[in-house]
Structure 1
Protein backbone atom coordinates (compact mmCIF):
# COMPACT_ATOMS: atom_id res chain seq x y z
CA UNK A 1 0.00 0.00 0.00
CA UNK A 2 1.45 3.37 -1.01
CA UNK A 3 2.04 5.79 1.87
CA UNK A 4 0.31 9.16 1.77
CA UNK A 5 2.50 12.27 1.53
CA UNK A 6 1.93 13.03 5.22
CA UNK A 7 2.75 9.48 6.29
CA UNK A 8 5.89 9.59 4.16
CA UNK A 9 6.94 12.78 5.92
CA UNK A 10 6.28 11.24 9.35
CA UNK A 11 8.37 8.21 8.45
CA UNK A 12 11.18 10.40 7.11
CA UNK A 13 11.17 12.50 10.29
CA UNK A 14 11.28 9.47 12.56
CA UNK A 15 14.09 7.85 10.58
CA UNK A 16 16.12 11.08 10.76
CA UNK A 17 16.16 11.06 14.58
CA UNK A 18 19.68 10.56 15.98
CA UNK A 19 18.73 9.86 19.60
CA UNK A 20 16.88 6.56 19.30
CA UNK A 21 19.87 4.56 20.59
CA UNK A 22 21.26 6.89 23.26
CA UNK A 23 17.90 8.21 24.56
CA UNK A 24 15.25 5.72 23.45
CA UNK A 25 12.55 6.75 25.93
CA UNK A 26 12.88 10.45 25.16
CA UNK A 27 13.13 9.75 21.44
CA UNK A 28 9.88 7.79 21.45
CA UNK A 29 8.19 10.42 23.59
CA UNK A 30 9.19 13.30 21.32
CA UNK A 31 8.51 11.44 18.09
CA UNK A 32 5.04 10.35 19.21
CA UNK A 33 4.21 13.97 20.02
CA UNK A 34 5.96 15.99 17.30
CA UNK A 35 5.66 13.54 14.42
CA UNK A 36 2.24 12.04 15.14
CA UNK A 37 -0.02 14.13 17.41
CA UNK A 38 1.19 17.50 16.14
CA UNK A 39 1.28 16.63 12.43
CA UNK A 40 -2.22 15.13 12.70
CA UNK A 41 -3.56 18.43 14.10
CA UNK A 42 -5.08 20.58 11.37
CA UNK A 43 -4.63 20.27 7.63
CA UNK A 44 -1.41 22.08 6.71
CA UNK A 45 0.36 20.75 3.65
CA UNK A 46 3.88 19.44 4.17
CA UNK A 47 5.50 22.20 2.14
CA UNK A 48 3.99 24.97 4.29
CA UNK A 49 4.70 23.07 7.50
CA UNK A 50 8.37 22.71 6.65
CA UNK A 51 8.74 26.35 5.61
CA UNK A 52 7.34 27.31 9.01
CA UNK A 53 9.55 24.87 10.93
CA UNK A 54 12.72 25.93 9.08
CA UNK A 55 11.90 29.59 9.83
CA UNK A 56 11.11 28.80 13.45
CA UNK A 57 14.43 27.00 13.89
CA UNK A 58 16.19 30.10 12.62
CA UNK A 59 14.23 32.21 15.09
CA UNK A 60 15.05 30.04 18.10
CA UNK A 61 18.66 29.47 16.97
CA UNK A 62 18.20 25.72 16.57
CA UNK A 63 21.14 25.27 14.21
CA UNK A 64 21.57 21.51 14.70
CA UNK A 65 17.88 20.77 14.21
CA UNK A 66 17.83 23.17 11.24
CA UNK A 67 20.61 21.15 9.61
CA UNK A 68 18.83 17.88 10.40
CA UNK A 69 15.58 19.21 8.91
CA UNK A 70 17.01 20.33 5.57
CA UNK A 71 16.59 16.90 3.91
CA UNK A 72 13.02 16.76 5.26
CA UNK A 73 12.32 20.20 3.84
CA UNK A 74 13.70 19.13 0.47
CA UNK A 75 11.65 15.93 0.57
CA UNK A 76 8.58 18.07 1.33
CA UNK A 77 9.08 20.19 -1.77
CA UNK A 78 10.78 23.27 -0.32
CA UNK A 79 13.04 24.41 -3.15
CA UNK A 80 16.64 25.60 -2.87
CA UNK A 81 15.52 29.12 -3.81
CA UNK A 82 12.85 29.09 -1.09
CA UNK A 83 15.36 27.90 1.50
CA UNK A 84 17.80 30.65 0.51
CA UNK A 85 15.07 33.30 0.64
CA UNK A 86 14.00 32.19 4.14
CA UNK A 87 17.58 32.50 5.39
CA UNK A 88 18.21 35.82 3.63
CA UNK A 89 15.04 37.43 5.01
CA UNK A 90 15.91 36.22 8.51
CA UNK A 91 18.80 38.71 8.54
CA UNK A 92 16.33 41.61 8.71
CA UNK A 93 14.57 40.12 11.75
CA UNK A 94 17.30 38.21 13.58
CA UNK A 95 20.48 40.03 12.54
CA UNK A 96 23.48 38.74 10.63
CA UNK A 97 25.25 37.70 13.84
CA UNK A 98 22.62 35.02 14.42
CA UNK A 99 21.92 34.07 10.80
CA UNK A 100 25.46 33.56 9.51
CA UNK A 101 25.83 29.98 10.90
CA UNK A 102 22.55 29.01 9.20
CA UNK A 103 23.63 30.33 5.80
CA UNK A 104 26.91 28.43 6.15
CA UNK A 105 25.03 25.24 7.10
CA UNK A 106 22.67 25.64 4.15
CA UNK A 107 25.53 26.20 1.71
CA UNK A 108 27.31 23.11 3.04
CA UNK A 109 24.14 21.07 2.59
CA UNK A 110 23.72 22.30 -0.99
CA UNK A 111 27.31 21.44 -1.79
CA UNK A 112 26.82 17.89 -0.46
CA UNK A 113 23.70 17.60 -2.60
CA UNK A 114 25.58 18.74 -5.68
CA UNK A 115 23.59 21.96 -5.99
CA UNK A 116 25.70 24.56 -7.75
CA UNK A 117 26.14 27.91 -6.02
CA UNK A 118 25.35 30.72 -6.34
CA UNK A 119 21.71 30.10 -7.22
CA UNK A 120 20.00 32.26 -9.82
CA UNK A 121 19.58 35.84 -8.59
CA UNK A 122 16.16 36.85 -7.27
CA UNK A 123 16.57 40.60 -6.76
CA UNK A 124 14.09 42.94 -8.48
CA UNK A 125 15.39 46.31 -7.26
CA UNK A 126 18.43 48.55 -7.68
CA UNK A 127 20.01 51.00 -5.23
CA UNK A 128 17.96 53.69 -6.97
CA UNK A 129 14.59 51.90 -6.81
CA UNK A 130 14.74 49.99 -3.53
CA UNK A 131 13.22 52.75 -1.36
CA UNK A 132 10.13 53.34 -3.48
CA UNK A 133 9.70 49.61 -4.02
CA UNK A 134 9.97 49.04 -0.28
CA UNK A 135 7.43 51.76 0.49
CA UNK A 136 5.00 50.26 -2.02
CA UNK A 137 5.50 46.82 -0.48
CA UNK A 138 4.72 48.20 2.98
CA UNK A 139 1.57 49.82 1.58
CA UNK A 140 0.56 46.58 -0.19
CA UNK A 141 0.86 44.60 3.04
CA UNK A 142 -0.04 47.04 5.82
CA UNK A 143 -2.14 49.69 4.06
CA UNK A 144 -1.95 53.32 2.94
CA UNK A 145 -0.84 54.48 6.39
CA UNK A 146 2.68 53.29 5.50
CA UNK A 147 3.17 55.75 2.60
CA UNK A 148 4.97 58.31 4.76
CA UNK A 149 6.16 56.02 7.53
CA UNK A 150 9.76 56.10 6.32
CA UNK A 151 9.89 59.82 7.16
CA UNK A 152 8.22 59.52 10.59
CA UNK A 153 9.62 59.48 14.12
CA UNK A 154 12.10 61.64 16.04
CA UNK A 155 14.80 63.16 13.87
CA UNK A 156 17.61 61.33 15.66
CA UNK A 157 16.12 57.88 14.91
CA UNK A 158 14.16 58.56 11.71
CA UNK A 159 16.85 56.87 9.64
CA UNK A 160 15.81 53.50 11.10
CA UNK A 161 12.29 53.83 9.65
CA UNK A 162 13.97 54.79 6.36
CA UNK A 163 16.08 51.63 6.53
CA UNK A 164 13.01 49.58 7.38
CA UNK A 165 11.43 50.69 4.11
CA UNK A 166 14.52 50.54 1.91
CA UNK A 167 16.35 47.57 3.43
CA UNK A 168 13.87 45.24 5.15
CA UNK A 169 11.10 45.70 2.59
CA UNK A 170 12.96 47.14 -0.39
CA UNK A 171 15.86 44.68 -0.39
CA UNK A 172 14.16 41.51 0.90
CA UNK A 173 10.39 41.53 0.45
CA UNK A 174 10.68 42.59 -3.19
CA UNK A 175 12.77 39.56 -4.11
CA UNK A 176 11.36 36.73 -6.20
CA UNK A 177 11.16 33.19 -4.82
CA UNK A 178 8.49 33.84 -2.17
CA UNK A 179 5.22 35.76 -2.38
CA UNK A 180 3.88 38.23 0.20
CA UNK A 181 1.88 35.57 2.06
CA UNK A 182 4.93 33.33 2.38
CA UNK A 183 7.16 36.21 3.43
CA UNK A 184 4.73 37.28 6.13
CA UNK A 185 4.43 33.65 7.27
CA UNK A 186 8.18 33.27 7.77
CA UNK A 187 8.40 36.67 9.47
CA UNK A 188 5.70 35.57 11.90
CA UNK A 189 7.78 32.45 12.64
CA UNK A 190 11.02 34.43 13.14
CA UNK A 191 9.31 36.75 15.63
CA UNK A 192 7.36 34.13 17.57
CA UNK A 193 10.38 31.85 17.90
CA UNK A 194 12.86 34.44 19.16
CA UNK A 195 10.48 35.86 21.78
CA UNK A 196 10.45 39.35 23.23
CA UNK A 197 9.04 40.83 20.03
CA UNK A 198 5.34 40.81 20.91
CA UNK A 199 4.53 44.32 19.54
CA UNK A 200 6.05 43.39 16.19
CA UNK A 201 4.46 39.94 16.34
CA UNK A 202 1.00 41.48 16.74
CA UNK A 203 1.68 43.78 13.79
CA UNK A 204 2.84 40.94 11.57
CA UNK A 205 0.03 38.63 12.68
CA UNK A 206 -2.33 41.35 11.45
CA UNK A 207 -0.31 41.68 8.23
CA UNK A 208 -0.59 37.93 7.71
CA UNK A 209 -4.34 38.15 7.98
CA UNK A 210 -4.42 41.01 5.45
CA UNK A 211 -2.50 38.96 2.86
CA UNK A 212 -4.63 35.85 3.29
CA UNK A 213 -3.06 33.93 6.20
CA UNK A 214 -6.12 33.98 8.44
CA UNK A 215 -6.38 33.40 12.19
CA UNK A 216 -7.07 29.68 11.86
CA UNK A 217 -4.04 29.28 9.59
CA UNK A 218 -1.74 31.09 12.03
CA UNK A 219 -2.97 28.95 14.93
CA UNK A 220 -2.08 25.88 12.86
CA UNK A 221 1.39 27.32 12.24
CA UNK A 222 1.92 27.88 15.98
CA UNK A 223 0.70 24.34 16.67
CA UNK A 224 3.13 22.78 14.19
CA UNK A 225 6.08 24.77 15.55
CA UNK A 226 5.33 24.27 19.25
CA UNK A 227 7.62 21.21 19.64
CA UNK A 228 10.57 23.36 18.56
CA UNK A 229 10.00 26.48 20.70
CA UNK A 230 8.00 25.15 23.67
CA UNK A 231 4.77 26.22 25.31
CA UNK A 232 5.54 29.73 26.68
CA UNK A 233 6.48 31.28 23.34
CA UNK A 234 3.68 29.39 21.61
CA UNK A 235 1.11 30.70 24.09
CA UNK A 236 2.52 34.22 23.66
CA UNK A 237 2.10 33.84 19.90
CA UNK A 238 -1.52 32.74 20.31
CA UNK A 239 -2.21 35.81 22.46
CA UNK A 240 -0.68 38.02 19.76
CA UNK A 241 -2.82 36.36 17.08
CA UNK A 242 -5.96 37.04 19.12
CA UNK A 243 -4.98 40.68 19.64
CA UNK A 244 -4.25 41.09 15.93
CA UNK A 245 -7.61 39.55 14.99
CA UNK A 246 -9.34 42.26 17.02
CA UNK A 247 -7.55 44.95 15.02
CA UNK A 248 -8.09 43.65 11.50
Structure 2
Protein backbone atom coordinates (compact mmCIF):
# COMPACT_ATOMS: atom_id res chain seq x y z
CA UNK A 1 0.00 0.00 0.00
CA UNK A 2 1.41 3.37 -0.95
CA UNK A 3 1.01 6.30 1.39
CA UNK A 4 -1.47 7.87 -1.03
CA UNK A 5 -4.01 5.06 -0.58
CA UNK A 6 -4.93 5.43 3.09
CA UNK A 7 -6.30 8.09 5.39
CA UNK A 8 -3.51 10.32 6.65
CA UNK A 9 -5.07 12.96 8.93
CA UNK A 10 -1.78 13.44 10.78
CA UNK A 11 0.22 14.24 7.61
CA UNK A 12 2.78 11.50 8.24
CA UNK A 13 2.65 9.88 4.83
CA UNK A 14 5.28 11.99 3.08
CA UNK A 15 8.15 11.56 5.55
CA UNK A 16 7.06 8.43 7.42
CA UNK A 17 5.07 6.48 4.84
CA UNK A 18 5.74 3.05 6.32
CA UNK A 19 4.72 4.07 9.84
CA UNK A 20 1.73 6.04 8.52
CA UNK A 21 0.44 2.97 6.68
CA UNK A 22 1.07 0.74 9.69
CA UNK A 23 -0.83 3.05 12.04
CA UNK A 24 -3.67 3.68 9.58
CA UNK A 25 -4.19 -0.05 8.99
CA UNK A 26 -4.46 -0.62 12.73
CA UNK A 27 -6.33 2.48 13.97
CA UNK A 28 -8.61 3.21 11.03
CA UNK A 29 -9.35 -0.36 9.96
CA UNK A 30 -8.64 -3.12 12.46
CA UNK A 31 -9.43 -1.18 15.67
CA UNK A 32 -12.27 0.77 14.04
CA UNK A 33 -14.03 -2.46 13.02
CA UNK A 34 -13.96 -3.92 16.55
CA UNK A 35 -17.39 -3.81 18.17
CA UNK A 36 -20.56 -2.20 16.89
CA UNK A 37 -20.14 1.51 17.57
CA UNK A 38 -21.44 3.96 14.99
CA UNK A 39 -18.98 6.39 13.47
CA UNK A 40 -20.00 9.36 15.62
CA UNK A 41 -19.69 7.37 18.86
CA UNK A 42 -16.28 6.06 17.81
CA UNK A 43 -15.04 9.58 17.23
CA UNK A 44 -16.54 10.69 20.54
CA UNK A 45 -14.55 7.96 22.29
CA UNK A 46 -11.33 8.76 20.43
CA UNK A 47 -11.52 12.50 21.09
CA UNK A 48 -12.28 11.95 24.78
CA UNK A 49 -9.37 9.52 25.05
CA UNK A 50 -7.05 12.02 23.34
CA UNK A 51 -8.06 14.63 25.90
CA UNK A 52 -7.35 12.12 28.65
CA UNK A 53 -3.87 11.22 27.41
CA UNK A 54 -2.90 14.75 26.39
CA UNK A 55 -2.96 14.02 22.66
CA UNK A 56 -3.46 17.65 21.65
CA UNK A 57 -2.09 17.47 18.09
CA UNK A 58 -4.00 14.28 17.23
CA UNK A 59 -7.19 15.84 18.59
CA UNK A 60 -6.82 18.95 16.43
CA UNK A 61 -6.08 16.90 13.31
CA UNK A 62 -9.15 14.70 13.82
CA UNK A 63 -11.70 17.51 14.18
CA UNK A 64 -12.60 17.47 10.44
CA UNK A 65 -13.03 13.68 10.56
CA UNK A 66 -15.22 14.03 13.67
CA UNK A 67 -17.47 16.50 11.86
CA UNK A 68 -17.62 14.19 8.84
CA UNK A 69 -18.61 11.32 11.15
CA UNK A 70 -21.65 13.28 12.31
CA UNK A 71 -20.53 15.01 15.50
CA UNK A 72 -21.70 18.60 15.73
CA UNK A 73 -19.53 21.56 16.75
CA UNK A 74 -21.58 21.77 19.96
CA UNK A 75 -20.80 18.14 20.77
CA UNK A 76 -17.10 18.70 20.15
CA UNK A 77 -17.14 21.69 22.48
CA UNK A 78 -19.02 19.76 25.16
CA UNK A 79 -16.41 17.00 25.17
CA UNK A 80 -13.66 19.55 25.77
CA UNK A 81 -15.66 21.49 28.36
CA UNK A 82 -16.57 18.40 30.40
CA UNK A 83 -13.00 17.15 30.29
CA UNK A 84 -12.02 20.13 32.43
CA UNK A 85 -13.89 18.63 35.40
CA UNK A 86 -11.80 15.45 35.16
CA UNK A 87 -8.47 16.67 33.79
CA UNK A 88 -8.29 20.31 34.88
CA UNK A 89 -7.87 23.40 32.74
CA UNK A 90 -4.11 22.92 32.83
CA UNK A 91 -4.64 20.03 30.42
CA UNK A 92 -7.72 21.14 28.51
CA UNK A 93 -6.80 24.74 27.65
CA UNK A 94 -4.57 23.73 24.68
CA UNK A 95 -7.44 21.56 23.38
CA UNK A 96 -9.97 24.39 23.62
CA UNK A 97 -7.65 26.68 21.68
CA UNK A 98 -6.92 23.99 19.08
CA UNK A 99 -10.61 23.19 18.73
CA UNK A 100 -11.49 26.85 18.17
CA UNK A 101 -8.82 27.08 15.49
CA UNK A 102 -9.97 23.87 13.81
CA UNK A 103 -13.63 24.95 13.82
CA UNK A 104 -12.65 28.35 12.43
CA UNK A 105 -10.84 26.61 9.55
CA UNK A 106 -14.00 24.58 8.91
CA UNK A 107 -16.02 27.78 8.65
CA UNK A 108 -17.94 27.30 11.90
CA UNK A 109 -18.95 30.67 13.40
CA UNK A 110 -17.92 31.16 17.03
CA UNK A 111 -18.99 31.45 19.75
CA UNK A 112 -21.55 28.67 19.53
CA UNK A 113 -24.99 29.03 21.13
CA UNK A 114 -24.95 28.55 24.91
CA UNK A 115 -25.89 25.12 26.27
CA UNK A 116 -26.22 25.83 29.99
CA UNK A 117 -29.50 24.92 31.71
CA UNK A 118 -28.70 26.03 35.27
CA UNK A 119 -28.15 29.22 37.25
CA UNK A 120 -26.06 29.95 40.33
CA UNK A 121 -28.98 29.16 42.61
CA UNK A 122 -29.96 25.89 40.85
CA UNK A 123 -26.67 24.29 39.84
CA UNK A 124 -26.11 22.27 43.02
CA UNK A 125 -29.63 20.88 43.09
CA UNK A 126 -29.53 20.08 39.38
CA UNK A 127 -26.12 18.49 39.78
CA UNK A 128 -27.36 16.28 42.60
CA UNK A 129 -30.30 15.23 40.42
CA UNK A 130 -27.84 14.24 37.69
CA UNK A 131 -25.74 12.28 40.19
CA UNK A 132 -28.83 10.42 41.38
CA UNK A 133 -29.90 9.66 37.81
CA UNK A 134 -26.43 8.28 37.05
CA UNK A 135 -25.37 6.57 40.28
CA UNK A 136 -28.59 6.03 42.22
CA UNK A 137 -30.42 7.36 45.27
CA UNK A 138 -27.33 6.98 47.44
CA UNK A 139 -26.04 10.24 45.94
CA UNK A 140 -28.97 12.34 47.23
CA UNK A 141 -27.09 13.72 50.24
CA UNK A 142 -23.54 13.06 49.11
CA UNK A 143 -22.97 16.77 48.56
CA UNK A 144 -23.11 17.43 52.29
CA UNK A 145 -21.28 14.32 53.47
CA UNK A 146 -17.74 13.93 54.79
CA UNK A 147 -15.61 15.83 57.32
CA UNK A 148 -16.43 19.49 57.65
CA UNK A 149 -12.96 20.56 56.51
CA UNK A 150 -13.36 18.85 53.15
CA UNK A 151 -17.14 18.80 52.70
CA UNK A 152 -16.93 21.67 50.23
CA UNK A 153 -15.26 19.37 47.70
CA UNK A 154 -18.27 17.02 47.69
CA UNK A 155 -20.47 20.09 47.28
CA UNK A 156 -18.33 21.26 44.38
CA UNK A 157 -18.56 17.80 42.82
CA UNK A 158 -22.34 18.14 42.76
CA UNK A 159 -22.53 21.83 41.81
CA UNK A 160 -19.55 22.14 39.48
CA UNK A 161 -18.74 18.74 37.95
CA UNK A 162 -22.34 17.62 37.57
CA UNK A 163 -24.33 20.86 37.91
CA UNK A 164 -22.20 22.97 35.59
CA UNK A 165 -21.32 20.29 33.02
CA UNK A 166 -23.63 17.26 33.03
CA UNK A 167 -26.76 19.40 32.93
CA UNK A 168 -25.70 21.12 29.71
CA UNK A 169 -27.41 20.28 26.43
CA UNK A 170 -25.50 18.89 23.45
CA UNK A 171 -24.73 15.48 24.95
CA UNK A 172 -27.07 13.24 26.95
CA UNK A 173 -26.14 11.50 30.20
CA UNK A 174 -25.15 8.25 28.49
CA UNK A 175 -22.81 10.08 26.14
CA UNK A 176 -21.37 12.09 29.02
CA UNK A 177 -20.66 8.98 31.05
CA UNK A 178 -19.08 7.27 28.04
CA UNK A 179 -16.66 10.15 27.49
CA UNK A 180 -15.91 10.25 31.22
CA UNK A 181 -14.96 6.58 31.00
CA UNK A 182 -12.61 7.48 28.13
CA UNK A 183 -11.12 10.47 29.98
CA UNK A 184 -10.29 8.32 33.00
CA UNK A 185 -9.10 5.27 31.08
CA UNK A 186 -6.72 7.38 29.00
CA UNK A 187 -5.52 9.46 31.93
CA UNK A 188 -4.53 6.44 34.01
CA UNK A 189 -3.81 6.39 37.72
CA UNK A 190 -7.43 6.91 38.75
CA UNK A 191 -8.75 3.35 38.68
CA UNK A 192 -11.15 3.77 41.67
CA UNK A 193 -12.95 6.58 39.84
CA UNK A 194 -12.78 4.62 36.59
CA UNK A 195 -14.53 1.63 38.19
CA UNK A 196 -17.20 3.92 39.62
CA UNK A 197 -17.91 5.40 36.20
CA UNK A 198 -17.86 1.99 34.54
CA UNK A 199 -20.60 0.99 36.98
CA UNK A 200 -22.45 4.20 36.11
CA UNK A 201 -22.22 3.41 32.39
CA UNK A 202 -23.61 -0.06 33.02
CA UNK A 203 -26.41 1.39 35.14
CA UNK A 204 -27.36 3.76 32.30
CA UNK A 205 -27.52 0.91 29.83
CA UNK A 206 -24.11 1.17 28.18
CA UNK A 207 -23.05 -2.47 28.29
CA UNK A 208 -19.59 -3.93 28.83
CA UNK A 209 -19.30 -4.78 25.13
CA UNK A 210 -19.84 -1.12 24.23
CA UNK A 211 -17.25 -0.04 26.79
CA UNK A 212 -14.77 -2.57 25.41
CA UNK A 213 -15.50 -1.34 21.88
CA UNK A 214 -14.88 2.27 22.96
CA UNK A 215 -11.65 1.22 24.66
CA UNK A 216 -10.60 -0.76 21.60
CA UNK A 217 -11.07 2.18 19.25
CA UNK A 218 -9.09 4.39 21.66
CA UNK A 219 -6.24 1.91 22.17
CA UNK A 220 -4.10 3.04 19.21
CA UNK A 221 -4.02 6.53 20.76
CA UNK A 222 -3.47 5.68 24.44
CA UNK A 223 -1.35 2.53 24.22
CA UNK A 224 -1.59 -0.92 25.74
CA UNK A 225 -0.71 -0.38 29.45
CA UNK A 226 -3.58 2.04 30.17
CA UNK A 227 -5.92 0.04 27.91
CA UNK A 228 -5.17 -3.19 29.75
CA UNK A 229 -5.68 -1.47 33.12
CA UNK A 230 -9.03 -0.12 31.93
CA UNK A 231 -10.03 -3.54 30.60
CA UNK A 232 -9.33 -5.06 33.99
CA UNK A 233 -11.50 -2.37 35.59
CA UNK A 234 -14.34 -3.20 33.18
CA UNK A 235 -14.08 -6.88 34.02
CA UNK A 236 -14.06 -6.21 37.75
CA UNK A 237 -16.87 -3.65 37.71
CA UNK A 238 -19.05 -5.76 35.43
CA UNK A 239 -18.44 -9.07 37.21
CA UNK A 240 -21.31 -8.73 39.74
CA UNK A 241 -23.72 -8.04 36.87
CA UNK A 242 -22.97 -11.19 34.87
Q: Please, which of 151, 157, 161 is the counterpart of residue 154 of structure 2?
A: 161
- 5 Å-filtered alignment, 1:1-248, equals 14-248=7-241
Contact 2:35–2:209 under 8 Å retained in 1 = no
| Structure 1 runs, 4 residues or longer, greater than 6 Å off | none
Contact 1:138–1:165 under 8 Å retained in 2 = yes
Kindly report the root-mean-square deviation, in angstroms, between the aligned alpha carbons of the 2 structures. Answer: 1.4
The number of aligned residues is 238
**Cα separation, partners in 2 of 1:232 and 1:24, compared to 1, 3 Å:** same
Shift of 1:246: 2.8
Shift of 1:50: 0.2
TM-score normalised by L of structure 1: 0.93
Superposed CA deviations along residues 100-150 of structure 1, whole A, max 9, x for unmatched, are 010011111122222111111111100000011011110010000001111
Whole-angstrom CA distance in 1 between matches of 2:235 and 2:152? 32
Unaligned runs of 5+ in 1: 1-10
1:131 is paired with a residue of what secondary structure?
A: helix
TM-score normalised by L of structure 2: 0.95
Whole-angstrom CA distance in 2 between matches of 1:126 and 1:20? 49
Shift of 1:35: 1.4
1:14 is paired with a residue of what secondary structure?
A: coil
